[in-house]
Amino acid sequence: MEQKKVEIRLMGHFVIEIDGKIHEELMTLSPKGVSLLELLILAEGQTVQTDVLREELWHHDTVGMDPEEEKNRKQREKIRLKTLVCRTRQYLNMLSPGLGECIASERGAYSWKSFPDLSIDVEEIKTICTTLTKAHRIFILLHIDRIRFHRNKGTLFHF
């Protein structure tokens, strides 16, 4: 089977584009699914603990909450998170077989594992910024070397 070209855009509004076809329906089908993907992708391959995901996805003020009620709430949120992950994986696999495998699970955590033909706008921008920073450093070093060369030659050097 031919590998599909998959692009995920987080900047602006969330979009998944597969072979040039834009899929925005996840925003309306599951805003929490979009938030889950954003949290995992922005963690840049690092694992995100389920407690952190639950807190980010379902903000709750537990001050003054009965301990038993809080325990029950956490248990319900664990189930909700597992269900959300399962449904988000199914949706991704529906768009492109195997795409759901990008959501990796580990004991008590999840992470985003990209694959070669998948491009994510924020990762591309980070790569561009890193490249520009390196190029800027090289540019400065070349100018320093040029200044040193002219100083050693005793010539007057102006910018």
Structural domain span for residue 38: 6-120
- Judge whether 14 and 34 are in contact, CB under 8 Å: yes
Over residues 40-71, the pLDDT tens digits come to: 998 988 999 999 999 999 887 666 778 888 88
For 57-68, give one letter per residue: b (16+ CB within 10 A) or e: beeeeeeeeeee
pTM flag (> 0.75):
no
- In a domain? residue 77: yes
Over residues 70-85, the pLDDT tens digits come to: 888 889 999 999 999 9
Low-confidence spans in the chain with pLDDT less than 70: 1-3, 61-63, 143, 145-159
Closest CA to 119 of 3, 8, 21, 38: 8
- In a domain? residue 59: yes
- In a domain? residue 141: no
Total tally of structural domains belonging to the chain: 1
Beta partners for 118? 6
- In a domain? residue 139: no
- In a domain? residue 1: no
CATH code at 103? Answer: 1.10.10.10
